[in-house]
Structure 1
Amino acid sequence: MRLSEKKHDFQPEENHSSALDDNDGYNEPVREQSLHRGLKARQISMIALGGAVGTGLIIGSGTALQRGGPLGLLLGYAFVGFICYLVMVALGEMAAFLPHKKGFAGYATRFVDPALGFALGWNYLLKYLIITPNNINAAGVVVQYWTQSVHIAVWMVIFIAFIFVVNLLGVRVFGELEFWFSSIKIVALIGLLLMGIIIDLGGNPHHDRIGFRYWKTPNGPMGKYLLDQVHNSSLSIFLGFWATLTNALFAYIGTELIGVTVGEAENPRRNIPIAIRRTFYRILVFYVGGVFVIGLIVPSTNDSLFVATKSKTGAAASPFVVATTLVGIRVLNHIINGAILIFVMSAANSDLYIGSRTLYGLAIEGKAPSIFKRVNSIGVPYPALLLCTAFCALVFLNVHSSGAKVFGWFVNLASTFGALTWMTIAYSHICFMGALKAHGKSRDDLPYKAPFQPWGSWFALISTGIITLFKGFDTFLPWNVANFITSYIAVPIFFVLWLGYKLIFKTRVILPKHVDLVTGLRAIDEEEEQYLEYEKAKGPQGRFRKIWDAL
């Protein structure tokens, strides 16, 4: 039996994507003023994939390979990938139980403390106000790989206008476009992985079977980082491995965006767990498998890799391009650059969507100005969308070289904001499990039960905290004030938001026995029943559609 209220007098509605009224202490907008549940299962699945795979793999892995070596790269991405999976299953358990429209900040508010929900919501919003223009800038530089006859600012304006229009057209258009973007992304990634394996086995113009040759260097399979500063080989190897953790953390950040799509997902109790379960295989195949292949075909000491990792972005910055150049394949550069363009545009499109929905979620909780909870007739929170689009103007800082350095600091900020988000999600889940126990509820009755619990969320919380604490270790070798500030400033910002809200509104941590595990669940059950009746009414066509959505 589900942990929910008994159903009473349900009247089916004409529109099966109606809004959910949680009634948990905040004034949820009425149906005409709320988000629409228009995301299909296949779209949610692809959006989850789009958030998990991005430029951090296809470009940023080159820096990690240079510092950690092939084995350090593999171990670092595998370890952070496991942390990412633990965070996702924790989020999935809460989202399937209570699929509301307030994002995961709503879970912190309901299960821990309203002040923590406020801090998490604004922390997550700040991340997307920064990372969206960063991806727009990346797209502009990718295009410049082909031609520099058009000023980069022109491309930036075009890309900002494109993602704004896509988001303005509603969740159905956004979901469909992201589905095809991510489909192309999958094909491109599979192609790159197969290409790397073929190159490694000797299917290249040089007919050179590489095997594990690049793992058998004089330094071994591990890299050395900051050796000239620490003058200790063993410490240098450890620092190289640790550098891959911080790089992998930035690469995986964004996977949690599936939790924000819950409010616009059709039948979220069925579709969200499906997307969460598939996350494990995506991490294993695309991230861990991807860096393993990169470590086989690119030597960590190659001069081209050092040059590529100093590039801004584009094909020249990808270790896959370094690999093709080493074996004499040159025609694939443009294809890889085209794939990178799709990667960054998909990321920018998703980032704008998540930013606007996060601001909307804060507004309906009363933690942002009420104007941002307004939506139009197709369920688009247009004031929130306009504000998030306006912040894309930060991209023009990078038009001039002096602005490029400042903009790089914003990118450094994003990884810390993301790490704090992971930690808060894990802690919210710990409190959620504590509330279930205090109320005598079994997790076996939940719509989705996260594996490896309760130690999984504790492990994710502590591990992410340690990585975040020491992520800026290289700012001390030598001392760099600017990099130190951008590595850690997000931490005091988070605590100022949390403490400020707590002092002003006199909030208290919610004791497990006082956590509300009932309110709003009846509406969710009724909505789920309505959706199932809608699917049943479509007959064979509906069943065929369900199969297609599952695929």
Structure 2
Amino acid sequence: MSEKLSSRPSSVKSAKGSGVVDVAVKSASSSFTYDQTHRTLKARHIQLIGIGGTIGTALFVQIGASLTKGGPASLFIAFTVWCTFVMAVSNCLSEMVTWIPISSPFVRFADRFVDPALGFAAGINFFVFEAAMIPYEIVAFTVVLQFWTDQIPVVGAIFFVLFFYSVLNIFAVRFYGESEFWLALGKMLLAILVIVFTFFTMLGANPLHDRYGFRYWNPSNIEGAPFAEFYTTGDTGRFLGFVACLVQASFTIAGPDYISMTAGEAENPRKVLPRSFNSVFYRLATFFILGSLCVGIVVPYNDENLLNALSAAKPGAGSSPYVIAMQRMKIPVLPHIVNAGVLSAIFSAGNSYVYCASRTLFGLALEGKAPKFFTRCTRQGVPIYSVVFTLAIALLAFLQVSNNSAVVLQWFINLVTASQLLNFAFIAFTYLRFYYAMKAQGIDRSTLPHRSFWQPFCAYYSLIGCSVMALVGGYTVFLNGNWNIPNFLFSYMMIGVCPVLYVGWKLWHKTPFRALHEVTFFETEREQVDQYEENFVPEIPSSRLLRAWNWLFT
């Protein structure tokens, strides 16, 4: 069955004086709301957006807590293993999104390739994850400021962040793209800085002239290294330490889903998106695998200063293993540079979450799973009501005013930990339906603009791994003496909520589980992209410097 829809809107309504456009397309067989976003995100924007949503406090600060639980080897192995799962998810997304580059893609793919009820459950799950991460990052921002001073009013800091998120996300997509490009570039430079710092100081280039190398991996120097024991002793304790590191990795490492969310607003998407997805491997290897290795090099897992900083919840970069190492080696200034970098990383991550959450809500509305007014866009192509609603949820950050910031941060972490893993599992399952539907309908994958490798193995691999980790994520609550009902509910809430959303939508709307030969592949939307690409004229940089700049990020 194919979609018999016109590639041009049949009705246009404009709210005079409001600058808000509402465009609808309908046919006898189906209906959907026309996507009025603008393709203004360039290749360099998308490359850095993929970095901006992944590098945050977890990589520079929170990773130290995992080091103390599992030791340097467990941390490095766990991050390396989890990167393979994220790479598999990236492979699934890249093939689908490059062929069908639409707004909020994987949420709408679940609708068309599997079941509208799954599209609803997946969309709500991802929206909750992204929206909850915004107040989390805002609270983290106010905590990081306290590295320098605690005299700044919390309310003022929250208003400051919300104001700039509003400015960058409401007025035009290009403002968001430009801001995220420069903010993410700063994060990337910070990640490279700490890697370079590790390399030179381990060779003796530090004020103490201490050539420490892999000293903290050596069992003769550090008892228990390189595998630490967590909760209990022996092999069981070392295994639990590894699991703790794996849980941290599953929360820290992401990326391909953020790239996919730009598909509906990407300039020349079928050329730009494959390059962005292909670079995921290099980002994972550089920032997460190498980064986790560096953390285990600069400080021992049982470092007294690190343990005290974590137990005392020192603000900002005060709990960062890198700052602990810098202070031990009596290196001035650098701790302040790291804290400034962490501050910009937090702001950038929150900015990415506002964009992704609002586009998810926009995609749900396009498919009729959220109120229609969320599809309305400004003349600059911004889904204004989706952005405003997302920012309204960010007001939860004011919970910090009447509660301890560490408690509020933990609330948000517990709520969203499983959501990201469920999101990856939904993507993998959706790809399997896409893969087998193409096979059933005789569509040759070699004709696609981009074909990912090792399929369908990658889809099965990521589906199984992410599903298992979603169940394992809150494992500590089941350890002897650790049972806590609130922690259990927060850790597993979305695992219980998603089936309820799926079954509820399915029973209420009587949606079908799509047969493989009935799956449709967004024919109308693909025709619109085809027409756009036929008329696309790339902007030619005016100087050699700009050409070199564009080449670097494409």
Query: What is the match of residue 307 of structure 1?
Result: 308
- Stretch moving more, 252-261 or 328-337: 252-261
Asked if the contact 1:51–1:255 (Cα under 8 Å) also holds between the matched residues in 2, the reply is no
Query: What is the match of residue 13 of structure 1?
Result: none
Query: What is the match of residue 500 of structure 1?
Result: 504
CA 1:165–1:369 in 2, change beyond 3 Å: closer, same or farther? same
Look up the equivalent residue of 1:324 and give its one-letter code. Answer: M
Query: What is the match of residue 285 of structure 1?
Result: 286
- Stretch moving more, 289-298 or 254-263: 254-263
Aligned length: 528
Query: What is the match of residue 520 of structure 2?
Result: 516
2:81 to 54, 67, 79: 79
Distance in 2 between residues matched to 1:540 and 1:389, nearest whole Å? 36
- Stretch moving more, 121-130 or 338-347: 121-130
Q: Is residue 200 of structure 1 aligned with residue 202 of structure 2?
A: yes
Q: The residue matched to 1:509 in structure 2 has which SS? A: coil
How far does residue 182 in structure 1 lie from its aligned partner after superposition? Answer: 1.1
Q: Is residue 223 of structure 1 aligned with residue 228 of structure 2?
A: yes
Distance in 2 between residues matched to 1:90 and 1:480, nearest whole Å? 37
Distance in 1 between residues matched to 2:409 and 2:53, nearest whole Å? 22
Asked if the contact 1:41–1:550 (Cα under 8 Å) also holds between the matched residues in 2, the reply is no
Asked if the contact 1:123–1:417 (Cα under 8 Å) also holds between the matched residues in 2, the reply is yes
CA 1:338–1:255 in 2, change beyond 3 Å: closer, same or farther? farther
Distance in 2 between residues matched to 1:50 and 1:356, nearest whole Å? 16
CA 1:254–1:415 in 2, change beyond 3 Å: closer, same or farther? farther
Write out aligned runs for 1:357-376 (5 A): 357-376=359-378
Structure 2 residues not aligned, in runs of 5+: 9-22
CA 1:43–1:504 in 2, change beyond 3 Å: closer, same or farther? same
Distance in 2 between residues matched to 1:483 and 1:193, nearest whole Å? 35
Write out aligned runs for 1:118-517 (5 A): 118-216=120-218, 217-227=222-232, 232-253=233-254, 255-310=256-311, 311=313, 313-401=315-403, 404-477=406-479, 478-517=482-521
1:169-198, CA deviations, whole angstroms, 9 ceiling, x for partnerless residues? Answer: 211011011111111111111111100111
Distance in 1 between residues matched to 2:357 and 2:26, nearest whole Å? 22
Asked if the contact 1:20–1:100 (Cα under 8 Å) also holds between the matched residues in 2, the reply is no
- Stretch moving more, 300-309 or 415-424: 300-309
Distance in 2 between residues matched to 1:109 and 1:284, nearest whole Å? 33
1:64-112, CA deviations, whole angstroms, 9 ceiling, x for partnerless residues? Answer: 1111110000000011111111111211111001111233101111111
How far does residue 550 in structure 1 lie from its aligned partner after superposition? Answer: 3.6
1:383-406, CA deviations, whole angstroms, 9 ceiling, x for partnerless residues? Answer: 111111111111111223357525
Asked if the contact 2:7–2:528 (Cα under 8 Å) also holds between the matched residues in 1, the reply is no
How far does residue 547 in structure 1 lie from its aligned partner after superposition? Answer: 5.9
How far does residue 408 in structure 1 lie from its aligned partner after superposition? Answer: 1.5
How far does residue 539 in structure 1 lie from its aligned partner after superposition? Answer: 6.2
Distance in 2 between residues matched to 1:43 and 1:406, nearest whole Å? 32
1:305-362, CA deviations, whole angstroms, 9 ceiling, x for partnerless residues? Answer: 2233342651102111111122221321111110001100001111111111111111
Look up the equivalent residue of 1:244 and give its one-letter code. Answer: C
Distance in 2 between residues matched to 1:543 and 1:423, nearest whole Å? 44
Asked if the contact 2:91–2:458 (Cα under 8 Å) also holds between the matched residues in 1, the reply is no
Q: TM-score, normalised by structure 1?
A: 0.91
CA 1:548–1:488 in 2, change beyond 3 Å: closer, same or farther? same
Identity %: 35
Q: TM-score, normalised by structure 2?
A: 0.91
Asked if the contact 2:33–2:375 (Cα under 8 Å) also holds between the matched residues in 1, the reply is no
Look up the equivalent residue of 2:350 and give its one-letter code. Answer: A
Look up the equivalent residue of 1:202 and give its one-letter code. Answer: G
